Amino acid sequence: MGMLSFRAMAADTLLIVGDSLSAVYRLPANTSWPTLLNTQWKKRGGMPDIVNASISGDTSAQGLARLPGLLLQHHPRWVLVELGANDGLRGFAPPTISQTLSQIIDQVKQAKAQPFLMQIRLPPNYGKRYGDAFYAIYPTLAKQADIPLVPFFMEQVAIKPEWMQDDGLHPNQAAQDFIADWMSGKLAPLVTHH
């Protein structure tokens, strides 16, 4: 019993370090999929608190720069890394992106937290060769670091025009509930087997 009450006091935290796809671009923050997922998990009980430290427009290097402070502040048990899309949209070299993401993963591990890496795919208009090289960064890194690769929710969302903002890059309000449910299905198994 003592152990249980202690755990209830110090709820485990899942930290999300991402960009506009998790910070929700041009939408109220309280309607974002991480907020909805946190509410869903609170009702369920026994699930970690979700801290969404995502910032629209962040590159992986900006995420890396913010990471030490976030790890110190939140002491997460798990960290979902949802970064790289902005690097890709700016055409950064895949080896550079890979190196930065690798540093993020290492720092998370050094902080005794478990990293999860989210797969990112660029819109097709960025060219097949670059798009494929970019996409390949993620499974390669996840394998090297021996960490879970979380599928990209945008692949489920972008195919439905009614779920997309008019920029064609960001999910709209209507998509957030779906993303929260879908991400719950992917993340819950990763955070519940202790």
- Catalytic positions: 20, 167, 170
As a three-state string, the secondary structure of 81-146 is EECCHHHHHCCCCHHHHHHHHHHHHHHHHHCCCEEEEECCCCCHHHCHHHHHHHHHHHHHHHHHHC
β-pair partners for 14: 50, 78
Please, what sign has the CA dihedral across residues 41, 116, 189, 180?
Answer: positive
177's enclosing H/E stretch is: helix 173-192
Residue with tokens 């720092």: 107
